[in-house]
Amino acid sequence: MQIEELQIAVEDLWALWTEPDKIGKWLAGGATIDLRVGGTYQLTGHLMSRPLSQPVGGPIVGLEEEYVLKVSWKLPTELGAAADSASPPTTLVVLFQPLGPNRTRLRLEHDGWRDGDEWAAAVRWHTEVWTEVMNRLKQGNLPA
């Protein structure tokens, strides 16, 4: 789990996570999003500095606008055996808590990991990516 207090309004932070044109400018190479429970949340091309040969993400399993985004997360194929055996997939939960007009607490929870060396590598890979995400958000200078 990672938590950061960011100098950004909750509606702007929500847009950075849910609008494909904004996602393509900071988080991933591109995105396909159908923002509803049962809809699709997929990121393509790269996830921060990590290249992706196939999309990551999956169905949206929980949604409360500007507060909760919960995705059944298909692991990247680059993670080999962990990606191949991830049934059911892991779950990514992004929680948005407004703290003021231009302050938001962002909490990332990524759960559903299994045991084994390949899974330990998958946890490390995602921990590094989510740390990179939080660092980028803390730096600011994000797309409007």
87, pLDDT greater than 90: no
pLDDT digit string (tens) for 115-131? 999 999 999 999 999 99
Q: What is the mean pLDDT of residues 15-35?
A: 96
Could you tell me what percent of the chain has a pLDDT over 90?
A: 85
Q: What pLDDT, on a 0 to 100 scale, did the predictor assign at position 86? A: 67
pLDDT value for 88: 81
Task: For residue 81, name the pLDDT band (cuts at 50, 70, 90).
Answer: confident
User: Cβ distance 82 to 119 under 8 Å?
Assistant: yes
Q: State the average pLDDT for the chain.
A: 94
Q: What are the boundaries of each domain within the chain?
A: 2-139
Q: Which CATH architecture has domain 2-139?
A: 2-Layer Sandwich (3.30)
Provide the pLDDT for residue 58: 95
CA 66/CA 84 separation, integer angstroms: 32
Residues 3, 106: contact at Cβ < 8 Å? yes
Cβ contact 78:68 at 8 Å: no
